[in-house]
Amino acid sequence: MDDQPTKTDAELKLLMKACWNKYQLSGDITHLIEAVRAAPFFGERELASEIARLLNSLKPVV
């Protein structure tokens, strides 16, 4: 996560909207994980990592 370039507020807003739309269409939580990993969480990167980890654990193994 630390290697991601910093996104502007406008870029984050577009990404969040896209992730949410993709999730609503597919029900695939991978899109929620992408959104969580990109969200700044007020500088609390560990929070984003933990939420992404928990969501990832809900994904069915294929």
What are the pLDDT digits (tens) for 23-47?
999 999 999 999 999 998 888 989 9
CA distance 6 to 12: 9
For residue 54, is it within any domain?
A: yes
Domains: count for the chain? 1
Identify the residue with better confidence: 45 or 21.
21
Q: Which two tokens stand for residue 20?
A: 């949410």
Is 2 domain-assigned?
no
Q: Enter the DSSP assignment of 57.
A: H
Q: Is residue 3 part of a domain?
A: no
Range of the domain at 27: 9-58
The more confidently predicted of residues 62 and 52 is 52
Residue 4: inside a domain: no
- Classify residue 1: in a domain, yes or no: no
CA–CA distance from 34 to each of 12, 13, 48 (Å)?
A: 11, 13, 10
Q: Look up the pTM and report it.
A: 0.78
Residues 14-36 as b/e (b if ≥16 CB within 10 A, e otherwise) read eeeeebeebbeeeeeeebbbbbb
